[in-house]
Amino acid sequence: MSEQRLRIAIQKSGRLSDGSFDLLKSCGLSVSRGRDKLYGRVQEMPIDILLLRDDDIPEFVADDACDIGIIGQNVFEEEILNESHEAPAEEVMKLGFAHCRLMLAAPKEWCFDGSLMLEGKRIATSYPALTRAWLARQGVNAKVVMMKGSVEVAPRLKIADAVCDIVSTGATLDANGLKPVATVFESEAVLIRNRQEFSPEKQAMFEALLKRIKGVMTSKD
Ligand code: PRT
Ligand code: ZN
């Protein structure tokens, strides 16, 4: 990819993917890409698209492999709390799609009467840093059990007593005998950028893109 082109990291396929491509489309930008390809190109502006797993996007942007990226705030905040980079990327703006909540959920039969009920309990999650930060704010000591996926089955398998997972409609929790009891983090898709200064050409492109995105966001309000 050329140094002069603005490089955007977007989720290849998943819950952020359609919203990200729809946003570009609403900005008047069309992307040429093969379904299974790693790269895409914007026709109307000198912009390259890199298609990635969402989990890789913060690192690609922080490490300057991409200039900007679109990511779930939940994934980005978890990354920041883990502080694995010298110069982490920074959030530029919220994008108004892929809304969800990271929620503490407990078995339906629990009479949940506050976070102190979690004292000494095991909580399964894919977001250990966000979960630990919330527990600390609540003044609760609980064991956080890291799971990469299928977090909602942990209580049934006796791996954990409760879970802290992403909730959209709540149907997944319900189907697994769980109920949401507290919101740990409110999330939506966000635009992030590399912290280094862009070249004047790139900065101009970035500003032109931001202007278009802001125009789209305002017209939705
Ligand atoms: O393959 P790749 O690694 O790129 O994708 P992924 O599978 O890790 O992520 P993906 O595509 O599932 O989610 C990407 C982002 O979308 C998340 O980081 C969130 O910011 C956002 N998002 C919005 C969601 C949901 N809604 C959502 N409902 N992410 C996950 N879920 C899952 C949740 O984990 C649970 O399993 O959906 C289930 C709950 O949904 P409901 O509707 O039953 O409550
Ligand atoms: Zn992922």
Contact predicate 199/193, CB 8 Å: no
Give the pLDDT band of residue 221 (cuts 50, 70, 90). Answer: confident
Task: Note the pLDDT of residue 135.
Answer: 98
CA atoms within 13 A on the CB side of 184: 29
Mean pLDDT for the chain? 94
16-75 pLDDT per residue, tens:
999 999 999 999 999 987 666 899 999 999 999 999 999 999 999 999 999 999 999 999
Q: Which amino acid is at 179?
A: K
116-137 pLDDT per residue, tens:
999 999 999 999 999 999 999 9
Evaluate: CB of 150 within 6 angstroms of ligand 1.
no
Tokens describing residue 178: 């769980």
Evaluate: CB of 98 within 6 angstroms of ligand 1.
yes
Contact predicate 99/79, CB 8 Å: no
- Which positions ≥6 away from 103 have C-beta within 8 Å? 164, 165, 166, 167, 173, 180, 181, 182, 183, 184
Which ipTM did the prediction report?
A: 0.98
Task: Note the pLDDT of residue 132.
Answer: 98
181: closest CA among 133, 221, 217, 138? Answer: 138
User: Which class does domain 100-186 fall in?
Assistant: alpha beta
- Ligand 1, atom nearest to 167 Cα: 44
Do domains 6-98+188-220 and 100-186 share one topology? The answer is: yes
Q: Is-above-0.80 flag for pTM? A: yes
Find the 154 Cα to ligand 2 centroid distance in Å.
19
27-42 pLDDT per residue, tens:
999 998 766 689 999 9
Evaluate: CB of 168 within 6 angstroms of ligand 1.
yes
Query: How many angstroms separate the CA atoms of 117 and 220, rounded?
Result: 41
Parse the chain into domains and list their residue ranges: 6-98+188-220, 100-186
Homologous superfamily in CATH for domain 6-98+188-220 = Periplasmic binding protein-like II (3.40.190.10)
Element (H, E) at 200: helix 200-220
Task: Note the pLDDT of residue 82.
Answer: 87
